[in-house]
Amino acid sequence: MSEDHQPEHGEDETDIEDCVASCPIDAKLADQLVGLADLPWQDPGVTGPAMRSLDWSTDGMPTDEAHFVTPAGHAVYTDYGLYLPFVHYYVVGGELWPDDFWGSQPGWSSLRGAGRVEFEACLDAAIDRFAERLGPPECDVRTEGRHLAIGSYSWRYAAWRRGGTILVVGPALDGYSYGQDEEAVVYIGEFAEDRPFPPAADFLNLLRK
């Protein structure tokens, strides 16, 4: 087990494994997300119908808070823009997390014993997918630090402006684990055309579910 995602005090470390579950961004979904990023996200009267017109479902949600699920299996959250996780980095085992929830979801695959290398590879692949359509990110930054729950980290954020909208690909803390685990997401939301990109360490605050 890596230094990241350490077990809670009193848990048997031999029963716990790091795990990475992914549901990659395919070409069709990337095109849909780029199309949505070209819409005015300050106007839910435009973005709501646009999302409902896609082949996304409102049935079989993996979480109660999701508003849509893509055909591939991504949960889509829309309370503060669009928030779509495509890879999760977490632990499985012990009393708190005995089951591989994300790895058991339709369209997702998980690899036990995986860690930050595999998590970052999934993130980089998603950034490359959007770069194929939008060109190199207008902002491509990395922030490093250490978090009490997840240990040391080095997070990459890539962002593109689309008029008054921003499309970001990058890591976030998973709210369902109370910030103990990580996920990488595509985020689309309102962002003034003259607003500077945030410092690397502040991108996390931008990605709201």
Phi then psi dihedrals of residue 69, to 5 deg: -135, 135
Domain contains 58: yes
Give the total number of structural domains in the chain.
Answer: 1
Residue 9: what pLDDT?
41
Query: In which band, very low, low, confident or very high, does the pLDDT at 6 lie, cut at 50, 70 and 90?
Result: low
pLDDT (tens digit per residue) in 33-84:
999 999 999 999 999 999 999 999 999 888 889 999 999 999 999 999 999 9
| Alpha-carbon span 115 to 107, nearest angstrom | 20
Number of helices (H) and strands (E), helices first, in the chain?
4, 9
Domain contains 38: yes
| Alpha-carbon span 44 to 82, nearest angstrom | 11
pLDDT (tens digit per residue) in 21-37:
999 999 999 999 999 99
Contact (Cβ atoms closer than 8 angstroms) between residue 88 and residue 175: no
Q: The tokens of 99 are what? A: 């089951």
Domain contains 3: no
In the predicted model, is pLDDT for residue 93 greater than 50? yes
Burial of 190 (0-12, 13-18, 19+ CB in 10 A): middle
Strand 165-173 and strand 182-190: pairing? antiparallel
Domain contains 8: no
Task: State which residues form the domain around 107.
Answer: 13-206
Domain contains 19: yes
Q: pTM score, two decimals?
A: 0.90
Domain contains 149: yes
Residue 165: what pLDDT?
98
Domain contains 4: no
Domain contains 41: yes
